[in-house]
Amino acid sequence: MPKPLNVGMIGYGFMGRAHSNAYHQVSHFFDLDHRPVLKAVCARSQDKAKPFADKWGYESIETDWRKLVARKDIDLIDICTPNNTHAEIAIGAAKAGKMILCEKPLAMNGEEGQRMVEAVDKARVPNMVWYNYRRIPAVSLARQLIDEGRLGRIFHYRAKFLQDWTISPDLPQGGQALWRLDVAAAGSGVTGDLLAHCIDTALWLNGGIATLDAMTETFVKERKHNLTGKVEKVGIDDACAFLCRFANGSLGTFESTRYARGHKALYTFEINGEHASIFWDLHDLHRLQYFDHRDQGIVRGWRSVHVTDGDHPYMGHWWVPGLQIGYEHSFVHQVADFLQGVAAGKSAQPDFRDALRTQLVCDAILKSAREQHWTRVSQG
Ligand SMILES: NC(=O)c1ccc[n+]([C@@H]2O[C@H](COP(=O)([O-])OP(=O)(O)OC[C@H]3O[C@@H](n4cnc5c(N)ncnc54)[C@H](O)[C@@H]3O)[C@@H](O)[C@H]2O)c1
Protein backbone atom coordinates (compact mmCIF):
# COMPACT_ATOMS: atom_id res chain seq x y z
CA MET A 1 0.00 0.00 0.00
CA PRO A 2 1.37 3.48 -0.86
CA LYS A 3 2.21 5.63 2.14
CA PRO A 4 0.09 8.79 2.58
CA LEU A 5 1.93 12.06 1.92
CA ASN A 6 0.03 15.00 3.38
CA VAL A 7 -0.15 18.09 1.18
CA GLY A 8 -0.63 21.63 2.46
CA MET A 9 -1.49 23.91 -0.45
CA ILE A 10 -1.13 27.69 -0.25
CA GLY A 11 -3.26 29.63 -2.78
CA TYR A 12 -6.45 28.55 -4.49
CA GLY A 13 -6.22 30.32 -7.88
CA PHE A 14 -5.25 29.03 -11.32
CA MET A 15 -2.32 26.95 -10.07
CA GLY A 16 -4.12 25.90 -6.89
CA ARG A 17 -6.64 24.18 -9.16
CA ALA A 18 -4.05 22.75 -11.57
CA HIS A 19 -2.03 21.22 -8.73
CA SER A 20 -5.07 19.93 -6.81
CA ASN A 21 -6.18 18.16 -9.97
CA ALA A 22 -2.71 16.64 -10.34
CA TYR A 23 -2.69 15.31 -6.76
CA HIS A 24 -6.09 13.72 -7.37
CA GLN A 25 -5.07 12.08 -10.64
CA VAL A 26 -1.54 10.91 -10.02
CA SER A 27 -2.21 7.77 -7.99
CA HIS A 28 -4.79 6.57 -10.52
CA PHE A 29 -2.26 6.52 -13.35
CA PHE A 30 1.16 5.97 -11.76
CA ASP A 31 2.30 3.25 -9.35
CA LEU A 32 4.05 5.16 -6.59
CA ASP A 33 5.31 4.56 -3.08
CA HIS A 34 3.40 7.62 -1.85
CA ARG A 35 -0.19 8.75 -2.27
CA PRO A 36 -0.87 12.51 -1.97
CA VAL A 37 -3.54 13.33 0.61
CA LEU A 38 -5.15 16.78 0.36
CA LYS A 39 -4.77 17.64 4.03
CA ALA A 40 -5.18 21.42 4.08
CA VAL A 41 -5.55 24.45 1.83
CA CYS A 42 -4.52 27.93 2.94
CA ALA A 43 -6.03 31.21 1.80
CA ARG A 44 -6.12 34.54 3.58
CA SER A 45 -9.89 34.51 3.75
CA GLN A 46 -11.95 31.68 5.24
CA ASP A 47 -14.79 32.52 2.83
CA LYS A 48 -12.53 31.68 -0.09
CA ALA A 49 -10.71 28.71 1.46
CA LYS A 50 -13.80 26.80 2.61
CA PRO A 51 -15.61 26.46 -0.76
CA PHE A 52 -12.30 25.58 -2.44
CA ALA A 53 -11.60 22.91 0.19
CA ASP A 54 -15.11 21.49 -0.23
CA LYS A 55 -14.89 21.43 -4.01
CA TRP A 56 -11.45 19.81 -4.23
CA GLY A 57 -11.66 17.56 -1.18
CA TYR A 58 -9.20 19.22 1.23
CA GLU A 59 -9.72 17.97 4.78
CA SER A 60 -9.11 21.32 6.50
CA ILE A 61 -8.33 24.99 5.93
CA GLU A 62 -5.90 27.56 7.29
CA THR A 63 -5.91 31.34 6.83
CA ASP A 64 -2.26 31.97 7.74
CA TRP A 65 0.47 30.08 5.87
CA ARG A 66 2.67 30.15 8.99
CA LYS A 67 0.13 27.99 10.84
CA LEU A 68 0.01 25.57 7.93
CA VAL A 69 3.79 25.30 7.80
CA ALA A 70 3.92 24.66 11.57
CA ARG A 71 1.42 21.78 11.43
CA LYS A 72 2.88 18.40 12.32
CA ASP A 73 0.44 16.56 10.06
CA ILE A 74 1.71 18.30 6.88
CA ASP A 75 4.56 16.68 4.92
CA LEU A 76 4.67 18.88 1.83
CA ILE A 77 4.03 22.58 1.29
CA ASP A 78 2.88 23.59 -2.19
CA ILE A 79 3.34 27.30 -2.93
CA CYS A 80 0.75 28.58 -5.45
CA THR A 81 0.81 32.24 -4.50
CA PRO A 82 2.15 35.36 -6.27
CA ASN A 83 5.90 35.62 -6.83
CA ASN A 84 6.65 38.06 -3.98
CA THR A 85 5.52 35.46 -1.43
CA HIS A 86 7.59 32.48 -2.63
CA ALA A 87 10.84 33.18 -0.76
CA GLU A 88 9.35 33.85 2.67
CA ILE A 89 7.03 30.83 2.55
CA ALA A 90 9.66 28.47 1.09
CA ILE A 91 12.30 29.46 3.63
CA GLY A 92 9.75 29.06 6.45
CA ALA A 93 8.69 25.66 5.12
CA ALA A 94 12.31 24.49 4.79
CA LYS A 95 13.03 25.52 8.39
CA ALA A 96 10.00 23.45 9.44
CA GLY A 97 11.47 20.47 7.58
CA LYS A 98 8.74 20.24 4.93
CA MET A 99 9.14 19.06 1.38
CA ILE A 100 8.45 21.99 -0.94
CA LEU A 101 6.90 22.35 -4.36
CA CYS A 102 7.09 25.99 -5.41
CA GLU A 103 5.50 27.71 -8.38
CA LYS A 104 7.67 29.49 -10.90
CA PRO A 105 9.45 31.83 -11.14
CA LEU A 106 11.40 30.62 -8.12
CA ALA A 107 11.75 34.13 -6.70
CA MET A 108 11.64 37.87 -7.38
CA ASN A 109 15.35 37.87 -8.26
CA GLY A 110 18.53 35.83 -8.04
CA GLU A 111 19.46 37.05 -4.58
CA GLU A 112 16.15 35.83 -3.14
CA GLY A 113 16.46 32.60 -5.12
CA GLN A 114 19.93 31.99 -3.71
CA ARG A 115 18.57 32.27 -0.15
CA MET A 116 15.85 29.77 -1.01
CA VAL A 117 18.44 27.32 -2.37
CA GLU A 118 20.51 27.70 0.79
CA ALA A 119 17.43 27.08 2.96
CA VAL A 120 16.46 23.81 1.23
CA ASP A 121 20.09 22.65 1.10
CA LYS A 122 20.49 23.30 4.83
CA ALA A 123 17.21 21.56 5.69
CA ARG A 124 17.89 18.75 3.17
CA VAL A 125 14.25 18.70 2.10
CA PRO A 126 13.08 17.47 -1.31
CA ASN A 127 12.14 20.46 -3.46
CA MET A 128 11.00 21.23 -6.96
CA VAL A 129 9.75 24.16 -9.04
CA TRP A 130 6.70 23.87 -11.30
CA TYR A 131 8.25 24.45 -14.70
CA ASN A 132 5.66 22.03 -16.01
CA TYR A 133 6.23 22.41 -19.77
CA ARG A 134 9.21 20.06 -19.58
CA ARG A 135 6.75 17.27 -18.88
CA ILE A 136 4.47 17.68 -21.84
CA PRO A 137 5.27 14.43 -23.68
CA ALA A 138 6.21 16.15 -26.96
CA VAL A 139 8.65 18.43 -25.10
CA SER A 140 10.12 15.45 -23.22
CA LEU A 141 10.45 13.70 -26.59
CA ALA A 142 12.40 16.72 -27.90
CA ARG A 143 14.85 16.20 -25.05
CA GLN A 144 15.11 12.49 -25.85
CA LEU A 145 15.87 13.20 -29.53
CA ILE A 146 18.57 15.71 -28.56
CA ASP A 147 20.08 13.30 -26.01
CA GLU A 148 20.20 10.60 -28.66
CA GLY A 149 22.29 12.95 -30.81
CA ARG A 150 19.78 13.03 -33.66
CA LEU A 151 20.12 16.77 -34.18
CA GLY A 152 23.93 16.76 -34.07
CA ARG A 153 25.59 20.07 -33.28
CA ILE A 154 22.97 22.69 -32.37
CA PHE A 155 23.12 26.01 -34.23
CA HIS A 156 19.91 27.83 -33.32
CA TYR A 157 17.34 27.96 -30.51
CA ARG A 158 14.28 30.13 -31.15
CA ALA A 159 11.44 30.61 -28.66
CA LYS A 160 8.34 32.79 -28.35
CA PHE A 161 5.59 33.15 -25.77
CA LEU A 162 2.83 35.47 -26.98
CA GLN A 163 -0.37 36.66 -25.33
CA ASP A 164 -2.76 39.61 -25.84
CA TRP A 165 -4.70 40.11 -22.61
CA THR A 166 -3.25 43.39 -21.25
CA ILE A 167 -3.63 45.64 -24.29
CA SER A 168 -6.50 47.72 -22.85
CA PRO A 169 -5.19 50.74 -20.88
CA ASP A 170 -8.35 50.45 -18.73
CA LEU A 171 -7.16 47.19 -17.20
CA PRO A 172 -6.09 47.95 -13.62
CA GLN A 173 -2.99 46.58 -11.93
CA GLY A 174 -2.66 44.78 -8.60
CA GLY A 175 -4.81 42.58 -6.39
CA GLN A 176 -6.57 39.31 -7.09
CA ALA A 177 -5.93 37.97 -10.60
CA LEU A 178 -4.15 41.20 -11.68
CA TRP A 179 -1.08 40.94 -9.43
CA ARG A 180 0.90 40.05 -12.61
CA LEU A 181 0.73 43.72 -13.67
CA ASP A 182 2.02 44.96 -10.31
CA VAL A 183 5.81 44.90 -10.16
CA ALA A 184 5.78 44.72 -6.36
CA ALA A 185 3.96 41.36 -6.52
CA ALA A 186 5.34 39.95 -9.75
CA GLY A 187 8.95 41.20 -9.78
CA SER A 188 8.81 41.65 -13.54
CA GLY A 189 6.32 41.34 -16.37
CA VAL A 190 6.57 38.88 -19.23
CA THR A 191 10.20 38.14 -18.35
CA GLY A 192 9.43 36.26 -15.12
CA ASP A 193 5.93 35.19 -16.12
CA LEU A 194 6.35 33.86 -19.66
CA LEU A 195 9.98 33.98 -20.76
CA ALA A 196 10.95 32.12 -17.58
CA HIS A 197 9.12 29.09 -19.02
CA CYS A 198 10.95 29.44 -22.35
CA ILE A 199 14.28 29.81 -20.54
CA ASP A 200 13.70 26.77 -18.32
CA THR A 201 12.92 24.64 -21.37
CA ALA A 202 15.90 26.05 -23.26
CA LEU A 203 18.38 25.41 -20.44
CA TRP A 204 17.03 21.88 -20.15
CA LEU A 205 17.22 21.17 -23.89
CA ASN A 206 20.26 23.17 -24.92
CA GLY A 207 22.34 23.92 -21.80
CA GLY A 208 23.42 27.18 -20.20
CA ILE A 209 23.19 30.71 -21.62
CA ALA A 210 26.49 32.60 -21.45
CA THR A 211 25.69 36.15 -22.64
CA LEU A 212 22.60 38.03 -23.79
CA ASP A 213 21.33 41.35 -25.09
CA ALA A 214 17.75 42.30 -24.24
CA MET A 215 15.15 44.97 -24.83
CA THR A 216 11.94 45.51 -22.88
CA GLU A 217 9.02 47.88 -23.31
CA THR A 218 6.12 49.00 -21.13
CA PHE A 219 3.46 50.10 -23.60
CA VAL A 220 0.94 51.32 -21.02
CA LYS A 221 2.90 53.47 -18.58
CA GLU A 222 0.21 54.11 -15.93
CA ARG A 223 -2.71 52.05 -14.66
CA LYS A 224 -5.14 52.33 -11.79
CA HIS A 225 -3.92 50.24 -8.87
CA ASN A 226 -6.61 48.01 -7.38
CA LEU A 227 -5.11 48.09 -3.87
CA THR A 228 -4.59 51.88 -3.56
CA GLY A 229 -7.35 53.08 -5.93
CA LYS A 230 -4.83 55.54 -7.45
CA VAL A 231 -3.39 55.74 -10.95
CA GLU A 232 0.21 54.53 -10.56
CA LYS A 233 3.27 54.01 -12.72
CA VAL A 234 3.48 50.55 -14.29
CA GLY A 235 6.76 48.87 -13.34
CA ILE A 236 6.55 45.65 -15.33
CA ASP A 237 7.83 44.85 -18.81
CA ASP A 238 4.89 44.35 -21.18
CA ALA A 239 7.17 42.90 -23.85
CA CYS A 240 10.69 41.56 -23.90
CA ALA A 241 13.00 40.17 -26.56
CA PHE A 242 16.57 39.03 -26.27
CA LEU A 243 19.40 37.54 -28.28
CA CYS A 244 21.81 35.18 -26.59
CA ARG A 245 24.80 32.91 -26.97
CA PHE A 246 24.54 29.49 -25.36
CA ALA A 247 27.59 27.90 -23.76
CA ASN A 248 27.53 25.21 -26.50
CA GLY A 249 28.11 27.90 -29.15
CA SER A 250 24.55 28.03 -30.50
CA LEU A 251 22.63 31.28 -30.92
CA GLY A 252 19.26 31.98 -29.30
CA THR A 253 16.42 34.41 -29.96
CA PHE A 254 13.56 34.77 -27.48
CA GLU A 255 10.47 36.98 -27.58
CA SER A 256 7.54 37.43 -25.25
CA THR A 257 4.69 39.91 -25.08
CA ARG A 258 1.16 40.38 -23.83
CA TYR A 259 0.47 42.68 -26.81
CA ALA A 260 0.35 40.20 -29.70
CA ARG A 261 -3.30 40.59 -30.69
CA GLY A 262 -4.84 37.21 -31.47
CA HIS A 263 -2.46 35.09 -29.44
CA LYS A 264 -3.56 33.64 -26.08
CA ALA A 265 -0.69 31.39 -25.01
CA LEU A 266 1.38 30.81 -28.09
CA TYR A 267 4.50 29.21 -26.69
CA THR A 268 6.67 27.85 -29.51
CA PHE A 269 10.26 26.75 -29.84
CA GLU A 270 12.37 25.59 -32.76
CA ILE A 271 15.83 24.06 -32.59
CA ASN A 272 18.02 23.72 -35.68
CA GLY A 273 20.86 21.22 -35.60
CA GLU A 274 23.41 19.97 -38.07
CA HIS A 275 21.30 16.93 -39.05
CA ALA A 276 17.79 17.69 -37.91
CA SER A 277 15.39 20.33 -36.60
CA ILE A 278 12.46 20.20 -34.19
CA PHE A 279 9.53 22.55 -33.65
CA TRP A 280 6.91 22.56 -30.91
CA ASP A 281 3.79 24.68 -30.35
CA LEU A 282 1.74 24.80 -27.14
CA HIS A 283 -1.47 25.28 -29.16
CA ASP A 284 -0.80 21.89 -30.75
CA LEU A 285 0.96 20.43 -27.73
CA HIS A 286 0.66 16.73 -28.51
CA ARG A 287 2.64 17.07 -31.74
CA LEU A 288 6.37 17.41 -32.34
CA GLN A 289 7.48 18.58 -35.79
CA TYR A 290 10.70 16.87 -36.86
CA PHE A 291 12.85 17.24 -39.98
CA ASP A 292 15.80 14.91 -40.56
CA HIS A 293 18.16 15.75 -43.40
CA ARG A 294 19.46 12.16 -43.37
CA ASP A 295 16.12 10.83 -44.66
CA GLN A 296 16.14 9.64 -48.26
CA GLY A 297 15.73 12.73 -50.48
CA ILE A 298 12.51 11.75 -52.20
CA VAL A 299 10.60 11.42 -48.90
CA ARG A 300 12.51 14.05 -46.91
CA GLY A 301 10.31 16.64 -45.24
CA TRP A 302 8.85 17.84 -41.96
CA ARG A 303 7.13 15.02 -40.05
CA SER A 304 4.37 15.79 -37.61
CA VAL A 305 4.81 13.22 -34.87
CA HIS A 306 1.59 12.60 -32.93
CA VAL A 307 3.13 12.01 -29.52
CA THR A 308 0.55 9.56 -28.22
CA ASP A 309 2.15 6.14 -28.57
CA GLY A 310 2.92 3.89 -25.61
CA ASP A 311 6.67 4.31 -26.07
CA HIS A 312 6.50 8.11 -26.08
CA PRO A 313 7.45 9.79 -22.78
CA TYR A 314 4.73 9.33 -20.11
CA MET A 315 2.16 8.07 -22.63
CA GLY A 316 2.28 4.45 -21.47
CA HIS A 317 0.49 5.64 -18.31
CA TRP A 318 -2.54 6.98 -20.14
CA TRP A 319 -5.00 5.71 -22.74
CA VAL A 320 -4.36 3.76 -25.93
CA PRO A 321 -2.08 4.91 -28.79
CA GLY A 322 -3.59 7.77 -30.79
CA LEU A 323 -5.53 9.29 -27.91
CA GLN A 324 -4.00 12.53 -26.79
CA ILE A 325 -3.66 14.17 -23.39
CA GLY A 326 -3.44 17.89 -22.52
CA TYR A 327 -2.08 20.75 -20.47
CA GLU A 328 -3.18 19.49 -17.07
CA HIS A 329 -1.32 16.21 -17.50
CA SER A 330 2.04 17.98 -17.37
CA PHE A 331 1.30 18.72 -13.70
CA VAL A 332 0.34 15.10 -13.06
CA HIS A 333 3.68 14.01 -14.57
CA GLN A 334 5.52 16.50 -12.42
CA VAL A 335 3.94 15.18 -9.21
CA ALA A 336 4.69 11.60 -10.32
CA ASP A 337 8.36 12.41 -10.96
CA PHE A 338 8.62 14.28 -7.68
CA LEU A 339 7.19 11.34 -5.73
CA GLN A 340 9.48 8.92 -7.55
CA GLY A 341 12.37 11.17 -6.52
CA VAL A 342 11.21 11.13 -2.91
CA ALA A 343 11.06 7.32 -2.98
CA ALA A 344 14.54 7.13 -4.54
CA GLY A 345 15.98 9.77 -2.19
CA LYS A 346 16.92 12.21 -4.96
CA SER A 347 15.56 15.56 -6.05
CA ALA A 348 13.45 15.63 -9.21
CA GLN A 349 14.33 18.40 -11.63
CA PRO A 350 13.99 21.31 -11.83
CA ASP A 351 14.79 21.68 -8.15
CA PHE A 352 15.39 25.07 -6.51
CA ARG A 353 19.05 25.10 -7.59
CA ASP A 354 18.11 24.40 -11.20
CA ALA A 355 15.33 27.02 -11.15
CA LEU A 356 17.84 29.55 -9.79
CA ARG A 357 19.68 29.29 -13.13
CA THR A 358 16.54 30.49 -14.91
CA GLN A 359 16.18 33.27 -12.35
CA LEU A 360 19.74 34.43 -13.05
CA VAL A 361 18.99 34.57 -16.78
CA CYS A 362 15.90 36.70 -15.99
CA ASP A 363 18.06 39.00 -13.85
CA ALA A 364 20.56 39.36 -16.72
CA ILE A 365 17.72 40.15 -19.17
CA LEU A 366 16.38 42.96 -17.02
CA LYS A 367 19.88 44.33 -16.39
CA SER A 368 20.75 44.21 -20.09
CA ALA A 369 17.51 45.98 -21.06
CA ARG A 370 18.07 48.64 -18.40
CA GLU A 371 21.71 49.28 -19.26
CA GLN A 372 21.31 48.64 -23.00
CA HIS A 373 24.27 46.38 -23.55
CA TRP A 374 25.32 42.72 -23.81
CA THR A 375 25.40 41.13 -20.36
CA ARG A 376 27.13 38.05 -19.00
CA VAL A 377 24.75 35.65 -17.21
CA SER A 378 25.82 34.72 -13.69
CA GLN A 379 26.09 30.93 -13.46
CA GLY A 380 25.31 30.98 -9.70
N1 LIG B 1 3.53 26.67 -14.00
C2 LIG B 1 2.75 27.45 -14.71
O3 LIG B 1 2.53 27.25 -15.89
C4 LIG B 1 2.09 28.63 -14.05
C5 LIG B 1 0.89 29.15 -14.57
C6 LIG B 1 0.28 30.19 -13.89
C7 LIG B 1 0.86 30.71 -12.74
N8 LIG B 1 2.03 30.21 -12.29
C9 LIG B 1 2.64 30.74 -11.04
O10 LIG B 1 1.83 30.33 -9.95
C11 LIG B 1 1.78 31.33 -8.93
C12 LIG B 1 0.33 31.68 -8.68
O13 LIG B 1 -0.26 32.12 -9.90
P14 LIG B 1 -1.82 31.92 -10.21
O15 LIG B 1 -2.02 32.12 -11.67
O16 LIG B 1 -2.30 30.67 -9.59
O17 LIG B 1 -2.40 33.18 -9.44
P18 LIG B 1 -3.86 33.43 -8.96
O19 LIG B 1 -4.02 34.90 -8.84
O20 LIG B 1 -4.86 32.66 -9.79
O21 LIG B 1 -3.87 32.77 -7.49
C22 LIG B 1 -3.02 33.24 -6.48
C23 LIG B 1 -3.55 32.75 -5.16
O24 LIG B 1 -2.69 33.14 -4.09
C25 LIG B 1 -3.50 33.62 -3.01
N26 LIG B 1 -2.63 34.41 -2.12
C27 LIG B 1 -1.98 35.56 -2.39
N28 LIG B 1 -1.23 35.92 -1.32
C29 LIG B 1 -1.44 34.97 -0.34
C30 LIG B 1 -0.97 34.78 0.98
N31 LIG B 1 -0.13 35.66 1.55
N32 LIG B 1 -1.37 33.68 1.67
C33 LIG B 1 -2.21 32.78 1.11
N34 LIG B 1 -2.71 32.92 -0.15
C35 LIG B 1 -2.32 34.00 -0.85
C36 LIG B 1 -4.59 34.36 -3.72
O37 LIG B 1 -5.68 34.62 -2.87
C38 LIG B 1 -4.92 33.34 -4.81
O39 LIG B 1 -5.71 32.28 -4.33
C40 LIG B 1 2.63 32.48 -9.46
O41 LIG B 1 3.93 32.39 -8.93
C42 LIG B 1 2.66 32.25 -10.97
O43 LIG B 1 3.81 32.78 -11.60
C44 LIG B 1 2.65 29.19 -12.91
DSSP string, 206-222: H--EEEEEEEEE-SS-E
The finding on whether 252 has its CB within 6 A of some atom of ligand 1 is: no
The finding on whether 240 has its CB within 6 A of some atom of ligand 1 is: no
pLDDT along the chain (380 residues), means of 10: 97 98 98 98 96 98 98 98 98 98 98 98 98 98 98 98 98 95 98 98 98 98 97 98 98 98 98 98 98 98 98 98 97 98 93 98 98 95
SS3 category, 116 = helix
Distance from Cα 180 to the centre of ligand 1, integer Å: 10
The finding on whether 225 has its CB within 6 A of some atom of ligand 1 is: no
Quick count: other Cβ atoms within 10 Å of Cβ 286? Answer: 18
Q: Which of 80, 89, 108 to mutate to test the pocket of ligand 1 (most atoms within 8 A of CB)?
A: 80
- Could you tell me the end-to-end alpha-carbon distance of the chain, in angstroms, rounded to an integer? 41
Separation in Å, CA 3 to CA 31, 111, 280, 343, 348 = 12, 36, 37, 10, 19
Burial annotation 5-31 (CB, 10 A radius, 16+ → b, else e) = bbbbbbbbbebbbbbbbbbebbbebbe
The finding on whether 177 has its CB within 6 A of some atom of ligand 1 is: yes
Distance from Cα 78 to the centre of ligand 1, integer Å: 11
Amino acid found at 124:
R
HSE-up of 316 (CA within 13 Å, CB side)?
Answer: 5
Record the pTM. 0.98
**Do the Cβ atoms of 205 and 197 come closer than 8 Å?**
no
Distance from Cα 83 to the centre of ligand 1, integer Å: 8
HSE-up of 94 (CA within 13 Å, CB side)?
Answer: 23
